[in-house]
Amino acid sequence: MTDCDVVVVGAGLAGLAAARRLTATGLRVTVLEARDRVAGRNLGGHLADGVPVEMGGQWIGRPQTEVLKLVDELGLETFPTYDRGDGVTLYRGKVTRYSDETFGLSDDAAVEVGRLQQELEALAEPVSLSSPWASPDAADVDRRTLDEWLRANTDDAEALAFWNAVVPALFSAQPAEMSLLHFLFYIKSGGMIDSLVATTGGAQELRVVGGTHQISERIAAELGDGIVRLGSPVHTIVHDDDHVEVVFDGGSSTAARVVVAVPPTLAGRLRYRPALPGSRDGLTQQIPMGSVIKIQVAYPTPFWRDAGLNGFAFNLDDELGVTLDNSPVDGRCGVLVGFFEGAHARTAAAWTPDERRARAVASLVTLYGPAAADPIDYVEHDWMAEEFTRGCYGGRLGAGVWTQYGSALSEPIGRLHWAGAETSDVWNGYMDGAVRSGYRAAAEVLAATP
């Protein structure tokens, strides 16, 4: 006899999406979550005056159809990210305002960035989303880092500075920290580069009224009492031909199958009895999470709008890489959201909160002028310090990993199934990818259930 039909490890979007699909068919499901909350890499927060802000993943693009369907089914609403006016870019001490697609780069650098983008997207086109390791010339592409490719294909310093800002904005990691194949797979997974970096028409187009963490909270409420068990860190999964036993702090649960829906690097820290195949263990050792500290800086009004700016800034000079307008839908104050990402996040993590605030405000003054000097509030969240995440936005694969270990990323092992944004072949690393991965894992379980 088993306690339930399926145990889901992790109450983020992937795990809860899987649990929702499985319970809809009548299966008995238990969801075990290490934290004292659901929603994983989505996290709601507040300014001192009660204004809600999101400290985790927050944006949804219109092409991200699965998460948008879920938002609608759960009775949540979206609103567009503010995107009227000009953006600004800081490079070598100069702030350039722009209203076109040049990102404020010099004419020569803009042309060079466009050329490199076209070449990268041409390389990405033949990459297999379902089996990147089987793509044409996969071994040759995978052994190079993105940084190696960029430096071999341009000596334009401004263009390189641009890519060295864009890549951390997407991955919270540096171009030298991922294989070229991983970058190509990722951009194809998300509809190519313009789709990933754009606000209107891109991945940052929409926000959820009240915050994306509500998606997980409403699923958990819909599942009902006793399904989601918080404060239950899993540490051991015992599996054989007949059943699984999932052991967590305070107890254990037995089931026919388990869906492990935590980041691969954390899945690799669990103990499995018997031990998993070497290919799976080797994989999880080599998918580090990104490095990011997310900040929200509040002002009495969104003053940049009065100056004809949309709040989007690319900073090629210092640690605060990207900012966007994150003001509440009711307009009761102005909020700029920004990120210390990749190497800059690791540097900033050694500073005190007061030092990070001072550095961030100094950057905002450079970008937006003296009106940015006196915020009414500052809040931050260091995702590297989260015990049950250890970084954001997601995991990445370095040189050689896709072709040596990639086939183990989502392949079930007996009664063990894997979910999470990193395992999705569409919108990999995004909320939509997390939802899709949960649905895939649920379909695998259902296919194997008599």
Task: Summarize pLDDT for 273-312 with one digit per residue, the tens.
Answer: 999 999 999 999 999 999 999 999 999 999 999 999 999 9
Number of domains in the chain: 2
AA letter at 211: G
Q: Are residues 227 and 273 in the same domain?
A: yes
Query: Structure pTM?
Result: 0.97
Same domain, 232 and 187: no
Range of the domain at 172: 86-197
Preceding amide of 274 cis, omega within 30: yes
Identify whether residues 230 and 173 lie together within a single domain: no
Considering the domain boundaries, does residue 30 fall inside one? yes
Asked if residue 272 and residue 410 are part of one domain, the reply reads: yes
Domain boundary among 155, 174, 197: 197
| Shared domain check, 107 and 183 | yes
CATH number at residue 116: 1.10.405.10
Q: Where are the beta strands (DSSP E) in 274-355?
A: 292-299, 309-315, 320-325, 334-341
Strands 377-382 and 292-299: antiparallel
Count CB-CB contacts under 10 A for residue 44: 18
Q: Which residues pair with 312 in a beta bridge?
A: none
Q: Are residues 138 and 273 in the same domain?
A: no
Sequence-distant (6+) residues with CB within 8 A of 233 are 34, 248, 249, 388
Output the domain CATH number for residue 226.
3.50.50.60
- pLDDT above 90 (res 21): yes
Sign of CA dihedral 254, 260, 262, 265: positive
Q: Residues in the chain, how many?
A: 450
Same domain, 111 and 175: yes
User: pLDDT tens, 361-371?
Assistant: 999 999 999 99
Q: Is residue 139 part of a domain?
A: yes
Distances (CA, A) of 10 to 41, 94, 140, 166, 381: 11, 45, 36, 30, 20
Same domain flag for 258 and 191: no
Structure tokens at 381: 């969240």
| pLDDT at 1 (0 to 100) | 66
Compute CA distances 77 → 40, 80, 173, whole Å: 20, 10, 32
| Predicted local distance difference test score (pLDDT) of residue 68 | 98
Q: Output DSSP code: residue 312.
A: E
